[in-house]
Chain A
Amino acid sequence: MSASRDRIARNPARDQVAIVGIGRSPYSRDRDGCSPGSLVLEACIDAVGDAGLAKEDIDGLIGSTVSAQWVQAALGIPAVSYFANPPIIIGNQLVAAVGAVHSGVCDTVLMYHHGYRLPWASRRAAQDPMRRRSTVGVADPRSWWGTGHNDPGSNSLFGSSAYAAWAGRYLHDYGYGRESLGHIALNSRTNAASNPGAVYREPLTMDAYLDGRMVRDPLTVYDMDIPVDGADAFIVTTAERARDLPHPSVLVHAATLGHTDYGSEEQLRDLDHSGQVVVAERLWARSEVELADVDVFYPYEGFSNIALAWFESVGYCGRGEGGEFVADHWIEAEQRIVIEGRIPVNTHGGSLSEGGTQGAGHLREACMQLRGAAGSRQVDDARVALVTPGGFYFNSQGLILRTDI
């Protein structure tokens, strides 16, 4: 993390690439008869139409576990000059899209992400025999990704177990109670009430949060993202072409991924050596806007403690001060966080209440806000959005999006 500032500040793609189409397959907890592929296709068709384009206009495809090649065939897209299937989550797809479009390898990318309830994450899904078959065959999915060791035994520390362990370490080191995690969960739930597309919209009180079913201490069922069926898709093209398309352009001002050498669950040194720290350093170095210019903030909260760390990593406060910062900017009458009385956080309800799609929902909502199309939850004059998908390892990501002014 000692690279020279000049080197990490290089950003020739700044404001040159735009998100011009947004499509959804609505998030659901009780939908039958869908597959990961059917969800993706629904969102993709929606996005192409939203951008005012036809399938012949798409010449780049970026997917993941539902592959770009499968989607191309299913949609009958005649020819693409770029396709890739980076691992989830959504920042990987967007960074690939920016590179492919700005370099000229292709002109217009269709990228997407889906969520699909797996049997171990949903009682209802577990009753569906076809879903049981759809789960990965190895207990520890990292062995597929090649990102970690591959012991599937009862004592593996990965996924929710590892994030819970880091949440416990955070409370231990900085002396917080569970209320600091609760603020993240309540903020998402409050904002979800204004989002017709969110799956959980009923109010949540701090008392109910603290009584929530403990799953992995100190994380309760309210601290973990909600499994949903659903998908999001995005159309990405040049900023120049974007000006001829129907919606206000959302420009990608800066985008980065971040990872460190000891960046796996139990080997992570501490929160000062996580991918988030790399993201923040590189993102701000490549950006011409500053934290003070941000109008809406989307810290990923697939596990609530991740969001507390993002407040710290991007610079709103120092390490360990996230819990205090969130409490200081908590609007009791609204039951949500509004930074400095101006900047709302996860306006759509996030992974904890809109539905867990690994940051795709955060990206979509940021685009909707910058378009001025977020309906009753529209933030006045939103011009700059900071989106930080991902956790501490494998998938820390940062995106600064802005309007084309």
Chain B
Amino acid sequence: MSDDPAEPVADRSAELLSAFPGVRVDPDNAAYYSGLLERRLLLNQCTGCETWHHPPRPICPACWSTDVSAQDIQGSGTVALVTILRQGPRQPGVDYEGGHVLVAVELDEQSGLRVPGTVVGVPAEEVAVGDRVQLVWTDIGDGVAPRPDFELAQ
């Protein structure tokens, strides 16, 4: 967590709705999706008690403050859950032949705070619970928002 105030996220409802056609974008999660367009992974944090939560809710589940805001995370964490998708619906940037690894990364910001994602740059079978990972961004095609992925930490 940085002491610097986060760069404000512009209101871009129309752009969001067209950039995420299958997503129920609403006032509670708009900042999260806006962040993706700027290659920023923004998670909600309580301004008062500093508790993080995800997915985004309109209040802090710890203290019920409505003063929550989407903040940049450091992007480092530990693999908590792993699976490999061997089949599924066609989706951009997903290779079932080689196996698409899917993980939940427990972020360093807070115990239990996890985000889902894939790990790029290594064969799927080489990703294991406990691995240290770092956030990276993958461009998966025109008109599709950059995807927050992870790579094994150096």
Contact = CB atoms under 8 A, between A and B. Distances in A.
Interface of A: 120, 138-139, 143, 148-157, 161-162, 164-169, 172-173, 213-219, 261-262, 264-267, 269
29 contacts: A120-B89, A138-B23, A138-B24, A149-B55, A151-B23, A153-B147, A154-B91, A154-B100, A154-B147, A155-B118, A155-B147, A155-B148, A157-B81, A157-B104, A157-B116, A165-B81, A165-B82, A165-B104, A168-B82, A169-B82, A169-B129, A215-B87, A216-B84, A219-B83, A261-B61, A266-B80, A266-B116, A267-B54, A269-B112
- Size class of the B contact interface (CB-based, 8 Å): 35 or more
Q: Taking chain A's interface residues, is the majority helix, strand, or loop, or is none over half, making it mixed? A: loop
A217 B86 contact: yes
A262 B149 CA distance: 23
Nearest to B117: A155
Contacts of A151: 23
Contacts of A139: 22, 89
A167 B84 CA distance: 12
B114 interface: yes
Nearest to B57: A149
Contacts of B117: 155
A217 B84 contact: yes
Interface string B86-114: 11010111100001101110000000101
A216 B85 contact: yes
Nearest to A213: B86
B56 interface: yes
B82 A149 contact: no
B29 interface: yes
**10 closest A-B pairs by CB:** A149-B55, A266-B104, A157-B116, A165-B81, A164-B83, A217-B84, A165-B83, A154-B91, A152-B22, A154-B94
Contacts of B102: 155, 157, 161, 165
A214 B55 contact: no
Contacts of A262: 112
A253 B149 CA distance: 49
B64 to A, nearest CB: 13
Nearest to A148: B55
B56 to A, nearest CB: 7
A40 B152 CA distance: 50
Q: Which of A154, A157, A214 counts the most B-chain CB atoms under 10 A from its CB? A: A154
Contacts of B118: 154-155
B30 interface: no
Contacts of B148: 155
A142 B121 CA distance: 30
Given A120-B89, A155-B102, A150 B112 contact: no
Given A155-B116, A165-B81, 19 more contacts: A149-B56, A150-B23, A152-B22, A155-B102, A155-B117, A155-B147, A155-B149, A157-B81, A157-B102, A157-B116, A165-B82, A165-B102, A165-B103, A167-B83, A169-B81, A214-B86, A262-B112, A266-B114, A267-B114
B86 to A, nearest CB: 5
B115 interface: yes
A152 B91 CA distance: 10
Contacts of A216: 83-86
Contact of A168 (B55, B56, B83, B112): B83
B113 to A, nearest CB: 8
Contacts of A138: 22-24
Interface string B50-71: 0000111000010000000000
Nearest to B149: A155
